[in-house]
Amino acid sequence: MTEGEIPMPRNFMELLEARWVLDKYVCVGLDSDLKKIPKSEVVLTPAGHVNASATIFRFNQAIVRETAEYVCAYKPNLAFYLAQGIEGLTALEWTVQYIKEVAPDIPVILDPKWGDIGNTNNGYLEYAFEVLGVDAITVQPYLGEVSLRPFLERSDKGIFVLARTSNPGAGELQDIYTGSPGDEADEPLYKIVARHVSRTWNKAGNCGLVFGATYPDELRGIRIEIDLQQLPLLLPGIGAQGGDVEKTVRAAKSRFIVNSSRGIIFASKDRDFASVARTKVIELNDEIVRYL
């Protein structure tokens, strides 16, 4: 490295910090549903069948090309790629590789919400971090810290633990109170998860929380009651799910990523889908910055 040259970020947290310095907070969810991709991007085989891998990759490539300058991260949800079998997984591999080639300073977060016993997690980890080469992953905490250690020990990667998710039925388990009424320990499960991640699981300094933007009051509560200042927050639920940008930003305060998927990548069904996606990213990021 020559004198005066700025060192390239080495791990996920450094990549994230570097984007925040530039006031970039939008994470584009690459939930690339083959059925919703504009007809202009569909690639056919010589036999006239849809080439799923080429179609999905072509679509993702256009989205990344138009938005990379303005985003904080990309987050492909594994389900949309598994739905197309080997062709979908091939498109996912091509997509991650493309992002690493054209925008190596932008982290990629794989969203599978994995979590199993340790030996199984080793296999998941190898696929995500060694085969795909993503920078971070989402996991669920139900099996406890010991089962997640293969992930938690990867200090070079980001581990986002589900705490309060954005779906309407999230409270069925996440809002269950864990103590007796009136007891000091009587609090909902999602707060227990947040506290464990913040105080116990984050030994390698690589943990974050997934917290739905559809629940800004709960988000504000854990920011006040639990020391989360060092934990980055991945905030899904803006856009199609109805999360309010101002309430979310004011509740989160700092160190967060606002994810939007369908509201960006499928904002247009025509040939201009990528340029429209760029406009949506810019508009959302400007709105976020306005409330910081």
Q: Which residue in 24, 35, 75, 113 is the catalytic one?
A: 113
What six digits make up the tokens of 246? 């101002």
Rg (CA), the chain: 19
Our answer to whether residue 113 is catalytic in this structure is yes
Our CA angle for 117, 123, 126, nearest 5°, is 135
Active site (catalytic) residues: 113
